[in-house]
Amino acid sequence: MKPSQSAIVKIRGLDYHCRIWGNPRSPIIVMLHGFQDVSASWQFTVDALQGDWLAVAPDWRGYGLTQWSGADCYWFADYLGDLDALLDELSPDAPVNLVGHSMGGNAAGLYAGVRPERVRRFVNIEGFGIGGGRRQEPAPHRLARWLDELRDEAEQRGYDSFDEFAARMRAENPRLTEERARFLAEHWGREDEAGGVVRRADPAHKRGNPTPTSTEDLLACWREITAPVLWIEGGQSGLIARIARNPEEYEARKAAIQDLVIERIEGAGHNVHHDQPEQLAAVIERFLCA
């Protein structure tokens, strides 16, 4: 594995952990993980990169080794604020290459439309917005549900050991190798006071957002993106299958982006960076170097 270094950066009052690979003088790629994930998940993709890059992957607030916010829930707009401040630290004078997976792709997509001058090229891996659910739920029901969630103590599921955590990952995703599952378990998890293992994530992340971004707002931001965009789908992705049930909405999402290239990676589910990191790295580099 390629060695990484850790750096702590003060971002909007929080100690933000960044995992860094490569030469500081090389072109930068900022890699953004998804929900319930951590920066170390990019290790397999970084290992497969052939070029000379500086890859920087933050742990989002409340994940991994980054400080928890201390609030009872997390607001999606804060990810944009954190990313804006982080890019001011990493590359204040030049746009960057952004790579985002799932939640990280959704945050990066909004950001690329709000701050188009800050993004050179954008790789969106399975971060295409989510149809249905809370976004279409009437506001009174959505807000009442949120109030109910605030009354209940949020918890992360515990495991007896890192081996059990890794086995659970493989049960949920048979494409994940035993070696990769163990690596992820050791970075996703930490030992708790009882001697078991719990995910490195603030349980407050599990509470829903009472004001989710609407599809209309999502597309409005995407229409403002000026950078070329690479949209990567997992061939066996459940997310893509759900979105594609409404062909008109699926096409509207793609049509909102001015300069779009679509790649489909077979043998991969939603977590493309876990299932097919070698193919993913090749597709990313080809796009960034075009």
Q: What is the mean pLDDT of the chain?
A: 94
Instruction: Select the more confidently predicted residue: 211 or 76.
Output: 76
Amino acid 247: pLDDT: 86
Range name among 67-76, 88-97, 128-137, 247-256 with the lowest pLDDT average: 128-137
Mean pLDDT, residues 235-239: 89
| CA distance linking residue 96 with residue 99, whole number of Å | 10
The domain containing residue 28 runs over which residues? 5-138+213-288
> Where does the pLDDT of residue 136 fall: very low under 50, low under 70, confident under 90, or very high at 90 and above?
low
Task: State the CB neighbour count (10 A cutoff) for residue 24.
Answer: 8
Query: The CATH number of the domain where 79 resides is what?
Result: 3.40.50.1820
pLDDT value of position 242: 81
Distance CA 91, CA 174 (A): 38
Q: What pLDDT does residue 133 have? A: 47
152 phi/psi in degrees, rounded to 5? -95, 140
- Stretch among 22-26, 165-169, 209-213, 260-264 having the lowest mean pLDDT: 209-213
Q: Are 82 and 16 in contact (CB under 8 A)?
A: yes
Residue 194, in any domain of the structure = no
Looking at residue 214, its pLDDT comes to 85
Paired strand residues for 191: 197
- Residues composing the chain: 290
**Residue 77, Ramachandran bin (φ over 0: left; ψ between -120 and 50: alpha; else beta):** alpha
DSSP state of 39: G
Give start and end residues of each alpha helix (H) in 7-99. Answer: 43-48, 77-90
Question: pLDDT class for 135, splitting at 50, 70, 90?
Answer: low
Contacting residues for 160 by C-beta, under 8 A, at least 6 apart: 196, 197
As given in the structure block, the two tokens for residue 240 are 């893509």
At 203-213, the pLDDT tens digits run 999 998 888 88
Res 132: pLDDT: 47
pLDDT at position 210 is 86
Distances (CA, A) of 184 to 6, 47, 177, 188, 231: 17, 15, 11, 6, 25
> How large is the average pLDDT for residues 6-10?
98
Question: For position 95, what pLDDT does the model report?
Answer: 98
- Whether 241 is covered by a domain: the verdict is yes
The count of structural domains within the chain is 1
In a domain, 113, yes or no: yes
Residue 199 maps to a domain: no
Terminal CA-CA length for the chain: 27
In a domain, 90, yes or no: yes
Average pLDDT over residues 157-163: 96
134, pLDDT greater than 60:
no
Residue 155 CB contacts under 8 Å (≥ 6 apart), including other chains: 203, 206
Q: How far apart are CA 126 and CA 107, in angstroms?
A: 12
Instruction: Tell me, yes or no, whether 71 lies in a domain.
Output: yes
**pLDDT band at 278, cuts 50/70/90?**
very high
Q: How many CB atoms within 10 Å of residue 238?
A: 11
Q: Which H/E stretch holds residue 190?
A: strand 189-191
Residue 82's pLDDT is 98
* Domain-located, residue 272: yes
For the whole model, what pTM was predicted? 0.95
CA 124 to chain centre: 9
Average pLDDT for 33-50: 98
CA dihedral sign of residues 98, 100, 105, 108: negative
Comparing 81-90, 115-124, 134-143, the range with the smallest average pLDDT is 134-143
Q: Is 204 helix (H, G, I), strand (E, B) or coil?
A: helix
Is 244 inside a domain boundary? yes
Q: How high is the pLDDT of residue 249?
A: 84
